[in-house]
Structure 1
Amino acid sequence: MRLDKWILLATAALPLPSVAQTVASPDTTDDSAQSAPPAQTAASDRNPGEIVVTATRQAQFISKVPISISAFSQQSMDSKGMKSFNEVARFTPGVRFNSDGNQISIRGISSGAGSGTTGIYIDDTPIQMRNLGFSADNSAPAIFDLDRVEVLRGPQGTLFGAGSEGGTVRYITPQPSLTTFGTYDRAEISATQGGGVSYEIGSAIGTPIVTDKLGVRLSAWHRRDGGYIDHVDYKTNQIDNKNINYGDVTVLRGALAWQPTEGLLITPSILWQQRTTHMTDSFFPAISNISNGDFRNGSPEYRGSKDRYILPTLNIRYDTDSISFISNTSYFSRTNYTGYDGTLYNLSYYQDCYESGCGFQDGGVPGQAFFPFLTPTGVNPALPRYLSPSKVTNTQKIWTQEIRLQSANPEARFKWVIGAFYQHSVQRSIEELVDPQGNDFFNAVFGQSLEDFFGYPLYGQDSYITSTKGTDSQIAGFLDMTYELLAGVKISGGVRVAHTKFSFVNFSDGSQNGARTTGAGEASETPVTPKVGVNWQVDNNNLLYATWAKGFRPGGANAPVPFNACAPDLKQLGLTSSPDSYKSDTVSSFEIGSKNKLFDNKLQIAVSAYTIKWKGIQQSVNLNSCGIQFTGNLGQARSRGFDLQLTVMPIHGLSIDASVGYTDAVYTQTLAFGSSSPVVSAGDAIGGPPWTFSLGGQYDFPVGETDFYIRGDVSYQNELRRMTQSRDPRNQSYDPLALADSARTQVTMRMGAIIGGLNVSIFADNLLNATPRIGYSHQNRDSLLFTQETLRPRTIGLTIAYRQ
Structure 2
Amino acid sequence: MNKSHLRGATSFGVLILALAAHGAAMAQDSQESPQTDLGDVVVTATRREQSVLDVPYNISAVSGEAIEDAKMTDAAELMRGIPGVSVVDRGYRNSGVLNNVLMRGINVDSNALGDYAVSSVAPVSTYINDTPVFAGFLLKDLERVEILRGPQGTLYGSGSLGGTVRYITRAPKLGVFEGAANVTGSNVEGSDSIGWGADLTLNVPLGDTVAFRATITRLDYPGLTDYVNLYVLDGTGAPAAPGGILSPDAAYRSQKDADTVDIWFGRAALRWVPNEWFDATATYARQSDEIGGRRQVTRGVDGFGNAYGDYENGSVQLEPSSRDVSLASLEMNVDLGFATLTSSTSHYEHEGDSVSENTGFYAKAGFLSFYYNYPRPMASAERAYSDEATIQEVRLVSQTGGDFDYVVGAFYNDNTLIVSQDSYLRGFKRWWDLATGFPAAVSGDRDFIYRRHEEFTDKAIFGELTWHATDTLALTGGVRWFENEAVNNTFIDVPLYNSLSQPVTATFRSSESKALFKANLSWAFDDDGLFYATVSEGYRRGGSNAVPLAGNFAEDPRWQVYTSDSVVNYEAGVKGRRGSVVYDAALFYVDWEDIQLNTATPTWGFYVVQNGGKARTYGLETAIDVRPTDALHYSLGYTYTNARLSENVVSPLGTILALDGASLPGTPEHAITVAADYTWRMGGDIDVVARTSGFYQSGTRNAIGGPTFNTALPGFQIWNVSASLVRGPWAATLFVKNVFNEAGVTGEFTEAYMGTAPAAGYYGNGSKEFISLPRTIGLSLDYSF
Tell me what 1:80 maps to.
Answer: 70
Tell me what 2:681 maps to.
Answer: 702
Shift of 1:491: 0.6
Q: Greater CA deviation, 775-784 or 551-560?
A: 775-784
Over residues 616-641 of structure 1, what are the superposed CA-to-partner deviations in whole Å (9 max), with x where a residue is unaligned?
A: 01113445675554321011111111
8 Å CA contact retained: 1:274, 1:308: yes
8 Å CA contact retained: 1:624, 1:780: no
Tell me what 2:338 maps to.
Answer: 322
SS in 1 for 2:40: coil
Distance 1:164-1:672 versus aligned 2 partners, 3 A rule: closer
User: TM-score scaled to structure 1, two decimals?
Assistant: 0.82
8 Å CA contact retained: 1:194, 1:293: no
| 2:141 is the counterpart of 1:145 | yes
| 2:135 is the counterpart of 1:154 | no
8 Å CA contact retained: 1:190, 1:798: yes
Higher relative CO (CA 8 A, sep ≥ 6), structure 1 or 2? 2
Distance 1:562-1:191 versus aligned 2 partners, 3 A rule: farther
* Aligned counterpart for 2:323 among listed residues 307, 329, 332: 307
| 2:641 is the counterpart of 1:645 | no
Structure 1 unaligned blocks of 5 or more: 1-5, 15-24, 29-46, 129-138, 358-362, 371-382, 568-574, 727-733
Distance 1:450-1:773 versus aligned 2 partners, 3 A rule: farther
Shift of 1:465: 0.9
Tell me what 2:429 maps to.
Answer: 439
8 Å CA contact retained: 2:39, 2:576: no
In the alignment, the residues of structure 2 paired with residue 336 and residue 744 of structure 1 have an alpha-carbon distance, to the nearest angstrom, of 32
Shift of 1:238: 6.8
Over residues 479-513 of structure 1, what are the superposed CA-to-partner deviations in whole Å (9 max), with x where a residue is unaligned?
A: 11212101211111111111111111111012378
Tell me what 2:563 maps to.
Answer: 583
Tell me what 1:201 maps to.
Answer: 198
8 Å CA contact retained: 1:230, 1:239: no
8 Å CA contact retained: 1:588, 1:613: yes
| 2:164 is the counterpart of 1:168 | yes
| 2:282 is the counterpart of 1:268 | yes
| 2:498 is the counterpart of 1:498 | no
In the alignment, the residues of structure 2 paired with residue 757 and residue 297 of structure 1 have an alpha-carbon distance, to the nearest angstrom, of 44
| 2:67 is the counterpart of 1:95 | no
Shift of 1:462: 2.5
8 Å CA contact retained: 1:145, 1:184: no
8 Å CA contact retained: 1:514, 1:562: no
Shift of 1:389: 2.2
Over residues 66-100 of structure 1, what are the superposed CA-to-partner deviations in whole Å (9 max), with x where a residue is unaligned?
A: 12112111111123332211012211122222233
In the alignment, the residues of structure 2 paired with residue 290 and residue 545 of structure 1 have an alpha-carbon distance, to the nearest angstrom, of 59
| 2:678 is the counterpart of 1:682 | no
Structure 2 unaligned blocks of 5 or more: 1-16, 26-32, 91-97, 110-117, 232-249, 757-764
8 Å CA contact retained: 1:353, 1:625: no
In the alignment, the residues of structure 2 paired with residue 27 and residue 742 of structure 1 have an alpha-carbon distance, to the nearest angstrom, of 42
Distance 1:389-1:428 versus aligned 2 partners, 3 A rule: same
Over residues 431-469 of structure 1, what are the superposed CA-to-partner deviations in whole Å (9 max), with x where a residue is unaligned?
A: 11134523235568x8687985xxxx55x7531111111
Shift of 1:197: 2.1
User: Aligned residues: percent identity?
Assistant: 25
Query: Counterpart amino acid of 2:682?
Result: V
| 2:733 is the counterpart of 1:761 | yes
Tell me what 1:476 maps to.
Answer: 460
Tell me what 1:413 maps to.
Answer: 403
Query: Counterpart amino acid of 1:84?
Result: D
8 Å CA contact retained: 1:617, 1:634: yes
SS in 2 for 1:92: coil
Distance 1:13-1:266 versus aligned 2 partners, 3 A rule: closer
SS in 2 for 1:328: strand
In the alignment, the residues of structure 1 paired with residue 708 and residue 286 of structure 2 have an alpha-carbon distance, to the nearest angstrom, of 45
8 Å CA contact retained: 2:610, 2:652: no
Tell me what 2:383 maps to.
Answer: 392
* Aligned counterpart for 1:278 among listed residues 292, 295, 312: 292
Tell me what 1:729 maps to.
Answer: none
Over residues 125-150 of structure 1, what are the superposed CA-to-partner deviations in whole Å (9 max), with x where a residue is unaligned?
A: 1114xxxxxxxxxx412101111111
| 2:515 is the counterpart of 1:528 | yes
Alignment of 1:654-673 (within 5 A): 654-673=632-651
In the alignment, the residues of structure 1 paired with residue 640 and residue 445 of structure 2 have an alpha-carbon distance, to the nearest angstrom, of 49
Distance 1:126-1:338 versus aligned 2 partners, 3 A rule: farther
Distance 1:384-1:675 versus aligned 2 partners, 3 A rule: closer
User: TM-score scaled to structure 2, two decimals?
Assistant: 0.84
In the alignment, the residues of structure 1 paired with residue 320 and residue 585 of structure 2 have an alpha-carbon distance, to the nearest angstrom, of 41
Over residues 273-330 of structure 1, what are the superposed CA-to-partner deviations in whole Å (9 max), with x where a residue is unaligned?
A: 1222110112221259999973112312221222211111111111143311111111
Give the total of aligned pairs.
711
Tell me what 1:36 maps to.
Answer: none
Tell me what 1:222 maps to.
Answer: 218
Tell me what 2:115 maps to.
Answer: none
Q: Greater CA deviation, 146-155 or 750-759?
A: 750-759
| 2:599 is the counterpart of 1:609 | no
Tell me what 2:525 maps to.
Answer: 538
Q: Greater CA deviation, 310-319 or 735-744?
A: 735-744
Distance 1:412-1:178 versus aligned 2 partners, 3 A rule: farther
Distance 1:530-1:451 versus aligned 2 partners, 3 A rule: farther
Shift of 1:268: 1.4
In the alignment, the residues of structure 1 paired with residue 62 and residue 257 of structure 2 have an alpha-carbon distance, to the nearest angstrom, of 32
SS in 1 for 2:356: coil
Shift of 1:226: 2.5
Distance 1:74-1:237 versus aligned 2 partners, 3 A rule: farther
* Aligned counterpart for 1:65 among listed residues 55, 58, 64: 55
In the alignment, the residues of structure 1 paired with residue 367 and residue 300 of structure 2 have an alpha-carbon distance, to the nearest angstrom, of 22
In the alignment, the residues of structure 2 paired with residue 316 and residue 519 of structure 1 have an alpha-carbon distance, to the nearest angstrom, of 42
SS in 2 for 1:771: coil
* Aligned counterpart for 2:393 among listed residues 398, 402, 409: 402
Query: Counterpart amino acid of 1:593?
Result: G
8 Å CA contact retained: 1:153, 1:168: yes
8 Å CA contact retained: 2:519, 2:536: yes
| 2:586 is the counterpart of 1:596 | no
Distance 1:750-1:204 versus aligned 2 partners, 3 A rule: same
Shift of 1:610: 0.6
Shift of 1:395: 1.1
SS in 2 for 1:415: strand
Tell me what 1:740 maps to.
Answer: 712
Shift of 1:181: 2.3
In the alignment, the residues of structure 1 paired with residue 703 and residue 379 of structure 2 have an alpha-carbon distance, to the nearest angstrom, of 32
Q: CA RMSD in A?
A: 3.2
In the alignment, the residues of structure 1 paired with residue 307 and residue 62 of structure 2 have an alpha-carbon distance, to the nearest angstrom, of 34
SS in 1 for 2:772: coil
In the alignment, the residues of structure 1 paired with residue 276 and residue 76 of structure 2 have an alpha-carbon distance, to the nearest angstrom, of 42
Shift of 1:248: 2.2
In the alignment, the residues of structure 2 paired with residue 484 and residue 719 of structure 1 have an alpha-carbon distance, to the nearest angstrom, of 44
Over residues 175-213 of structure 1, what are the superposed CA-to-partner deviations in whole Å (9 max), with x where a residue is unaligned?
A: 1111222223222110112213221101111122112x1
Shift of 1:737: 7.7
8 Å CA contact retained: 1:320, 1:408: no
Distance 1:625-1:418 versus aligned 2 partners, 3 A rule: closer
Shift of 1:764: 0.4
* Aligned counterpart for 2:698 among listed residues 718, 733, 745: 718
Alignment of 1:441-480 (within 5 A): 441=431, 452=441, 458=443, 462-480=446-464
In the alignment, the residues of structure 2 paired with residue 109 and residue 468 of structure 1 have an alpha-carbon distance, to the nearest angstrom, of 26
SS in 2 for 1:439: helix
